[in-house]
Amino acid sequence: EEAIQTWQAKSSDRYSHIDKSDIDRVYKNLTEKRKWYEQTVNRLNSLRPHEDPPVLCSQIKQQQDTLERECWLILNKPKPRVEYPKDTPTDTPRRHPA
């Protein structure tokens, strides 16, 4: 969420090279996982102590890992390399010491 806010505010050059469509994908993944998490927590809070949980810790961890992996790939996309023109002129003859 912090990365999305930084990108929207244009306050840092860190995410400036990432397209809006990629940021939208990150935001969509984040909101989907957050919604899933909130629903899961609500179901867990409504259980009695003797009831089996509807979701396991491993499933929560799997959702977290999936979110981190998908967002990591987008947010850590390398900046495009800027190629500068070469300064060596090709039409001037070079002198070799004799």
Cα separation of the two ends of the chain: 66
Residues 6+ apart with CB under 8 A from 45: none
54 lies in some domain: yes
Looking at residue 16, its pLDDT comes to 74
d(CA 77, CA 70): 11
d(CA 13, CA 32): 27
Low-confidence ranges of the chain (pLDDT < 70): 1-12, 15, 86-98
pLDDT digits (tens, 9 = 90+) for 15-31: 677 788 888 898 899 89
44 lies in some domain: yes
The sign one gets for the Cα dihedral 11, 14, 17, 22 is negative
87 lies in some domain: no
43 lies in some domain: yes
Looking at residue 40, its pLDDT comes to 93
Looking at residue 26, its pLDDT comes to 87
The count of structural domains within the chain is 1
Domain that holds residue 63: 2-75
13 lies in some domain: yes
10 lies in some domain: yes
pTM attached to this predicted model? 0.64
12 lies in some domain: yes
91 lies in some domain: no
d(CA 14, CA 74): 12
